[in-house]
Structure 1
Amino acid sequence: MSAPLTISRLAPDPDGLDFAALQKAGLAFVQELSGNHWTDYNAHDPGVTILDQLCYALTDLAYRSALPHEDYLAAADGAIDLRRHALHLPQDVFPSEPVTDDDWRRLLYDRVPEIDDVWFDDRGAGLVDIKLKACDDPGANVATAAVRRIFAADRALCQDIARVVVLRTRDFYLSGDIEVRSMRDAAEVYADIVFQCAQQVGSGLRLHDYAQAAGDAPALDELFSGPFTEHGLIRAEGRRHAHAAISTLRLIGVIRGIEGVRKVHRLEVLDEHGRPLDSDPADLPDGEVPRIPLDQQDRGRLNLHFMSKSEAELGADDEGRQDGAPARSNAALRDAARPHLNKLRFERRTVRERQASLEHLVVEPRGAGKPLDHYYSIQHQFPAIYGINAYGVPASAAPETRAAARQLKAYLYIFEQAMANYVHGLANIGQLFSIQRNARRSYYTRPITDYMLPDIEALYTMAPHEIAGKLDEIRQCFDPHEDRRDRVLDVMLAMYGERYTQQSLRKFNFYFSARQDMRAWLLENKRAFLVRIAAIGKHRAAGFRYDLPAWNTDNVSGAHRKIAILLGLHSLRCCRPLCDVLRRHGLRIVDGGDADGASFDQLLERLESRAATPELRVPREVLHQAFPHDGDSAPADVTALTPAQKRRLRLLNMKSEGFHLIEHTLLRPRRAADDATAKDGFYSFQVSVVFPGWTVRFASAEFRKLAQETVTLNLPAHVMPNFYWLGHDDMEHFESLYPDWLDKLRAVVNASQQAVEPTDGMLEALDEASAGLRHFLQSLPADAGPRSRWV
């Protein structure tokens, strides 16, 4: 068994809290530096006294630097704002959307109490049949609608429902002889036997309390593996496929585990005609699932033989009982067991619907709420004869003595200011390790006041608030806050196994001339990734919610959202009209040297006046003039642009950037046979990724290569992308088709979720919209696409 890959913790400085070790090291340095001029290193020497005080202060700083991590992030009351520090509870960060069939079974069993079990059948091309076993017939329609709603919310990319089928149930009954030795009521034992056998046959899923499951000592990442189930931990422990036959041996094992059961002498399973099943029964016909009804009626012949109960409960001794006695006993037991069965049924339904408590399993971290910012000067610890502690110099002291004390106080101030800044930095670690915007510092300073160091303000040549300003100016000279902030964000991302390499984006810096603007933009990209880290991890394989509005929203797939952040496209809605910003300014981008195209000055005039009519045709080369790339130089009239003009041109480009991601599975014809759809390779686990090709950055061949690689690497491995880079006219045509298709798809899905079959008119309208999108994509010229990539 291979050892887990771990990184050993860095041990704290072994000498940091050891005063004697610090003093010894300090004396060694002093002797090395001044051995020829200083010969007295005894305790009475003022230099040694100062060294001792500084060593003592360093032990305090070392102690404050070795506190539990929670203390640095906690507020005064000990509470930690987890969201502010991009921290998440295990149940929020470990679970994922359902990926496997077992994931889906557990999720649907958790969310839909009207079903006993659920199974998935793969139809190909991302289509699945969902087979349900309803708890009872009246709940079948409710269960079907609920399953469709949950599937729409949690489906994977390129996955869709072909059919939801409610399976027919076929009743079976118990027959046999069971020996019981217990003080329990006979009806309770009978009810337990019937109920647990019904559970074993009825479902292959078992619900466990999270606290009970944690007692088996699994790690939290194992406990919360797959989708998070709100009502407890659900495990697949029984039936693995819908039409599996009943296993008598498994039922015997279940009965033996019931309290009071001593021995199972005989057990048979009878069909509705009273015929016993074979010892090795075949699976049930397709479309049927077995059920053991709680009301065994007169068809079940389950006899309980009590070894330690009074004969009054049995009616007669087993050996002397007549032929009709067991039947009368069974009938009496069934009648007496009904209240217990109803109680068990109610308890099971309550457990299915009760919200699981994680209170004792997952405890939110808290800090001690220690005041880390408090600084207490070492000069308080000096002997009074030095005249620098709170008592100062005696009133009778000579002016030379006063001056000497003030000189020593000023000399020690340099060391104290460094230590006060260090303490202030510790108190602001929570600011550094946070997802706050526009963090402009990574080191911190604070002026030392009379409260910290008596009479220090009298030595200042300016007011304390001016001292604070001067200290901050010094800090700015030595604070590489962008670099340190970048590394801190890397550490925070690494906690979730993620990284965000910005070198590629830095290479395509077409829009920012000032270095700090580019760095700020790159840091904001990384911060945006960290803000959404839990959702990105959970929804990494998920598709968009096709039952909700999607156009001009952030309702996109998990891969779409992550790719947008990695390409720096997160500041606007992910699914939006990319031609909209040009349309609002009355602009149309045309390719090639259009003789009727506008000049650069006309473009600037339109942006400044915001006049939208008449439409202004702008050659793509003119749009690019303000941001030369690929070795080009800017024309002379462009270099004279004002910052406001450059900003307008930059926003015009950046607001036109984005992409659309279309799942081919959802474009399938709804009135065609599913088998025919599965055989058409166009619909099978493919997506089309549509980019605008007219902006400065998106026109770069190198950036297009980066964008396609980013998409390919962040899509699920089984999904193949096809890339299209469209001009303005083609994109406008596409964006006239795409929202119409989204609306028609949502109408069909919402009708299905209401347990109402979509009308032929709705399906015909969706098929026409889907065909229009497919034909448009397949008709694009070779230079626009498609270009397919596969990992």
Structure 2
Amino acid sequence: MKETISIPKNIRTKNDLDYEYLREIGVDYIEKIGSKLWTDYNVHDPGITILEMLSYAITDLSQRIEMPIENLLASKNNNMAKMHEQFLSAIHILPTKPVTALDYRNLFIHIDGVKNAWIKQHEEFIHVNCKEHPAQLSYTPFDENQTFPAPFKLKGLNDVIIDLEEEVEDPTTIISLVKDIYNQNRNLCEDVVDVSIVEEHPIAICAYIDLDPGADEEYILALIYQAIDLYFSPTVNFYSLQQMFDKGYTTDQIFEGPIPFSSGCVPLESNKGGFIDKEELIKADLRKDVRLSDIIQLIMNIEGVHVIKDISISNCGETLGLEGAWNICIKDWHKPVRCDKSTFNFTKGLLPIGINKEKVATHLAKLKAQEKAKYEDVEIEDVAMPLGKYMAPESYTTIQNDFPDAYGISPFGLPGNAKKPRKAKANQLKAYLLFFDQVLANYFQHLSKVKDLLSVDEHLKKLYVDNVILTEAEELKNRQTYYAQKVEDVTDIKMIVGDYSNYESDLLGIINDLHEEKTGKEVFYERRNQLLDHLISRFAERFGDYAFMMKLIYGDNDIANDEILRAKLSFLQNYKEISCARGLGFNYCNPESNLNDNGIWDTVNISGVQQRIAKLLGIVDHSRRDLASEFLEVYEELDDDGVTEYRWRIKNESQVLLSSSKHYHSLEDAFKELFLAYHYAKNPDNYDFKLTEDGTQTYFNLINPDINDPENEDWIIARRIAFTDTKEEGVAARDALIALIKEVTADEGMYIIEHILLRPDKNNLDQFDVEDPSGLEPDASPENFMPVCIDADCKSCSPFDPYSFRVSIILPGWTKRFGNKDFRRFAEQLIREELPAHVLAKVCWIGHPLGLVPDEENDMLHLQTKYKSFLEQLHCDTSIGSKSDIENYRATLNELIEAMNKANTIYQTGRLHDCDNDDTEETGNKIILGRTNIGNL
């Protein structure tokens, strides 16, 4: 029976979309609060008229709230671009850099000229000598008869084997390209040793086949060749996005792993094809054996083949006959190919058939061209972004225009002969209704700002990420989370509100003043953190622990709040790269940098895990650079009594920007004040302008905003001698100072040193003195290897292998946050959570700022110098030009290993906490006996 469509009689929703319901509950409310004064609730009553107008306006607001979310997020101009700014499309958020061997195969097959690719573990053994103390390591055995301990194999070293397409003319170029792409996408603690073309294992096939009378024997043979070639070496097919959906894959399954895309996670120039079915890729592995039964089935499936009279297979070079093997094992990491000794003889009934080899070749070429043409036009596509229609949700017209003309508040106004008392009443009603108008208009404006609130907008970026100086008015506007708009179509509104020029700013002030228990800034921090937490949670990330640590270290003040917002913003703005490359190592093979030419130092060419950890720890500058720098300096001075005191200063490359206003008796206090000043100096509100005693010049001090008493000696925390003739010039000098301070990078940062890259070279110093160096064994001495903790009886206190899947993470131990033991515990836990599960990390907090200790005693200065020299010597090209190149590399490697071994973690002084005395409960390094550990192994 056909279903009939009808309009339901009862359309009540009893919510904010139901006009009758809103009017009904409005009347009920009036009855409860005003029944003693107001008893007439009929439609002619002006109060009921006002209620009806408000009810109708609320339904308008509710209908806009119920619009599809894509309409609320739509922009008036450049909607497509704006939507992509708000949301990361599938191809920009779901793919990752390659992790597994299957991922690397997927990536390499997209390279033009590569038919298939495989990853195998490189065989590299290191021998151990326990007779010496400390134990020694070497590539060669220490004793010809040594059996214990057995040599260990380095893990994380890979060889890439590729199968080239037939039309490739220059294999060397393809090999070089594969090596470059591997290094661009190298996993942390892994490395490629060799890229080679797959070796062939020829298989001879001898067959006698009877064909149908009408079959084309040359075409049949071409089909047999094609079927056998695909059986020996399967082709990996490419599919369009729609084809992958048709195969039953979901979006997250399609975009899993490395998807090469020009502006995506894994950019690849001139990549071929579309998406690869991972199930097909698994089946396209190198074949382990060739079965005669499979070949028989392939041939019998070809239309035109009547019967196979006889068939055999054998290794090429063996005697061919009809008594070959049923199964042939293929050599490891070889691919089977048709031997040129293979023979196929055809008959039709009792009549032997001759074969024209040229026609067979022509047919085979056409078949291959047809197979390749299927995928030539297939490309990788992104999932279409759902685009809404811009509906101008902020547009609002006053409800006063909808009142009957008798009220005299419409644009037509009152009659010309209306008396002043009548006009006054009309204006009073306008003013009364303007309150409701304004509330509704603000709600509509809020609705239009949904797309701004749910995005990492440029205003916040300027506040917390970009180094820009904003005026006080700009900062207030950028801190908005409440919005208002003028009601502009009320007749004679200027007469009602008075000063119309400050109307909008007055509205914002009123909105902020509604929160009596909190200041406008506190409301901003609370609401903005909630919105950013929502955005972060979309990616299943969290910043709760980090926010707690900032409050613990800095207290509940603007410094902590600003640092929390800045860290969240920076994390969100970089999430595309952070998510994609979270397990990536840096590209030491062909480094690129925007900051200098060599790409080794002062560069963002770092590992993906380092960038991610830096953002989660709130480190401003995650680049590889000097961590023991001259910008933030603490130094010693002797007072008149010979007591050592400390002072600090903030410098750039040419001048002292700020210096401490007093001496400090402890290093901890000096550091504490230095980093507070570094943060306070970025806020223009923290500068106090003064006149010189003669009143002719102006200068300023940096003050502590948490201290209200100007007589307190801690109120002024820093000075800069910069006199100006007027306060305006002083303000300009202050803004210039803030700009310079923001350019100074704090000493927070890290080095992640991958031990696998510290393995000695495989060269021999005599290789330049002999004609054939291939027989020479590597002669790197035990001194070139990292030390290993092994007892004399070869029972180790740690794994034998100091290289495989191990990293050293070096951080400066003197900064305010990094010196705090609670923050260190938080950071070490986060580091171990974010590193790949199979990577073991050693975390060290080392060094001192420059000038505090002699340079030769500064572990960080020593290590950063040696690490930089090592990276300059590290090359992916294994070709060595001379003996001196080998010697220089080994010397540099030895110096870095020595610097790493001598580095000691430093600890700031702590305060013993008395559990029975609340006065010792304060922020800082509290030490509780029996419960406090200074570190862990």
TM exceeding 0.5: yes
Is 2:563 aligned against 1:537? no
Hey, what does 1:579 align to over in structure 2? 628
Residue 281 (structure 1) shift: 2.1
Amino acid at match of 2:498: T
- Say if 1:117 and 1:132, in contact at 8 Å, map to a contact too: yes
Residue 844 of structure 2 aligns to a residue whose secondary structure is: strand
Q: Which amino acid aligns with 1:426?
A: L
Identify unmatched segments of 5+ residues in structure 1.
1-12, 306-317
Distance 1:579 1:78, change over 3 A: closer
Cα offset for 1:530? 0.5
Deviation at 1:347, TM superposition (A): 3.4
Distance 1:440 1:525 in 2: 16
Question: Secondary structure of the residue that 2:614 maps to in structure 1?
Answer: helix
Deviation for aligned residue 1:44: 1.9
The structural deviation recorded for 1:248 is: 4.7
Structure 1 pair 419–522 and aligned structure 2 pair: CA distance change class (3 A): same
Aligned to 2:5: none
Please say if residues 117 and 204 of structure 1, whose CA atoms lie closer than 8 Å, have aligned partners that are also in contact.
no
The equivalences for 1:610-649 within 5 A come to 610=656, 620-621=667-668, 623-624=670-671, 626=673, 638-642=714-718
How far off is 1:640 after superposition?
2.6
Q: Secondary structure at the match of 2:432?
A: helix
Q: Quick one: which of 599, 602, 618 aligns to 1:568?
A: 618
**Residue identity matched to 1:736:** T
Q: Residue 379 of structure 2 aligns to which amino acid in structure 1?
A: A
- AA aligned to 1:461 is G
Alignment partner of 2:504 out of 448, 451, 468: 468
Report the alpha carbon displacement of residue 196 of structure 1 after superposing the two structures with TM. 4.3
Task: Tell me the residue number matched to 1:10.
Answer: none
CA distance in 1, matches of 2:30, 2:384: 50
Q: What's the counterpart of residue 543 of structure 2?
A: 500
Report the alpha carbon displacement of residue 655 of structure 1 after superposing the two structures with TM: 1.2
Query: 2:870 corresponds to which residue?
Result: 741
- Among 431, 437, 441, the alignment partner of 1:416 is 437
Q: Which moved more, 1:190-199 or 1:689-698?
A: 190-199
Structure 1 counterpart of 2:244 = 213
Quote how far apart the aligned CAs of 1:76 are. Answer: 1.1
- The separation in 2 between residues aligned to 1:63 and 1:519, in whole angstroms, is 37
| Residues 1:550 and 2:600 are matched in the alignment | yes
Per the alignment, in what secondary structure is the counterpart of residue 111 of structure 1? coil
Kindly provide the CA deviation profile for residues 108-144 of structure 1, in whole angstroms up to 9, marking residues without a partner as x. Answer: 1122523433232265422122223333585432332
Further displaced range: 20-29 or 649-658: 649-658
Task: Tell me by how many angstroms 1:60 deviates.
Answer: 0.6
Give the structure 1 partner of residue 491 of structure 2: 454
> How far apart are the structure 2 equivalents of 1:653 and 1:553?
16
Higher-helix-fraction structure:
1
Aligned twin of 1:127: 157
Q: Distance in 2 between the 1:591 and 1:120 partners?
A: 61
Q: 3-state SS of the aligned residue for 2:238? A: strand
Q: 453, 456, 464: which one pairs with 1:432? A: 453
Distance 1:176 1:229, change over 3 A: farther
In 1, the alpha carbon distance for the partners of 2:441 and 2:414 equals 24
Give the CA deviation at 1:622: 6.3
- Report the counterpart of residue 342 of structure 2 in structure 1: 299
Q: Are 2:349 and 1:319 equivalent residues in the alignment?
A: yes
Asked if 2 retains the 8 angstrom alpha-carbon contact of 1:525 and 1:566, the reply is yes
Q: CA 1:89–1:188 in structure 2 vs 1: closer, same or farther (change >3 Å)?
A: farther
- Residue in structure 1 matched with residue 334 of structure 2 by the alignment: 288
Q: Is it true that 1:723 corresponds to 2:848 in the alignment? A: no
Deviation at 1:624, TM superposition (A): 1.9
- Quote the offset at 1:374 in angstroms: 1.1
Instruction: Pick which of 112-121 and 487-496 moved more.
Output: 112-121
Letter in 2 for 1:743: E
Query: By how many angstroms is 1:719 displaced?
Result: 1.0
The aligned residue for residue 97 of structure 2 is 97
User: Between the two proteins, what is the percent identity of the paired residues?
Assistant: 23
Distance 2:714 2:630 in 1: 22
2:130 alignment partner in structure 1: none
Cα distance change of structure 1 residues 76 and 611 upon mapping to structure 2, 3 Å threshold? closer
With over 3 angstroms needed to count, the CA separation of the structure-2 counterparts of 1:14 and 1:224, relative to structure 1, is farther
Query: How far is 1:162 from its partner?
Result: 3.1
Query: In 2, distance between residues paired with 1:42 and 1:178?
Result: 101
For each residue in 1:290-348, what CA deviation from the matched residue of structure 2 results, as whole angstroms up to 9, or x when unmatched? 1248xxx6734175x8xxxxxxxxxxxx1241x3x2xx136365144144146247637
Determine helix, strand or coil for the equivalent of 1:521: helix
> Which digits, 9 at most, give the CA deviation of each residue in 1:72-129, with x for residues without a partner?
3322146144587552111111111111111111111122523433232265422122
Equivalents in 2 of 1:146, 1:559: separation in Å?
Answer: 25
Structure with the larger RCO, 1 or 2 (CA within 8 Å, 6+ apart): 1
1:563-585 CA-to-partner distances (Å, cap 9, x unmatched) read 1112221x324211012234xx8
Q: Is the 8 A contact 2:240 2:274 kept in 1?
A: yes
Q: Partner of 1:343 in structure 2?
A: 369
Alignment-mate amino acid for residue 687 of structure 1: V
In the superposition, relative to structure 1, how do residues 261 and 619 fare at CA in structure 2: closer, same or farther (>3 Å)?
A: farther
Cα RMSD (Å) of the superposition? 4.2
Contact 1:268 1:277 in 2 (8 A): yes
Q: 2:198 aligns with which of 167, 182, 193?
A: 167
Report the 3-state secondary structure (helix = DSSP H, G, I; strand = E; otherwise coil) of the residue aligned with 1:329: coil
Q: Pick closer, same or farther for the CA change 1:103–1:29 going to 2, 3 Å.
A: same
The one-letter amino acid of 1:445's match is A
Normalising to structure 1: TM-score of the pair?
0.82
Equivalent residue, structure 2, for 1:358: 381
Matches within 5 A, 1:660-699: 660-671=751-762, 680-699=800-819
Instruction: State the match for 1:315 in structure 2.
Output: none
| Greater CA drift, 197-206 or 498-507 | 197-206
Post-superposition offset of 1:146: 1.8
Which residues of structure 2 form unaligned runs of 5+?
A: 1-12, 124-153, 262-272, 464-477, 592-598, 677-705, 722-733, 764-776, 787-798, 849-857, 909-933
- Code of the residue aligned with 1:38 in structure 2: it is W
For 2:769, the equivalent position in structure 1 comes to none
Pick which of 596-605 and 276-285 moved more: 596-605
Contact residue 722 and residue 789 of structure 1 kept, 8 A: no
Alpha-carbon deviation of 1:625?
Answer: 5.4
Amino acid at match of 1:488: L
Amino acid aligned to 1:555: N
How many Å apart are 1:683 and its aligned residue?
0.4
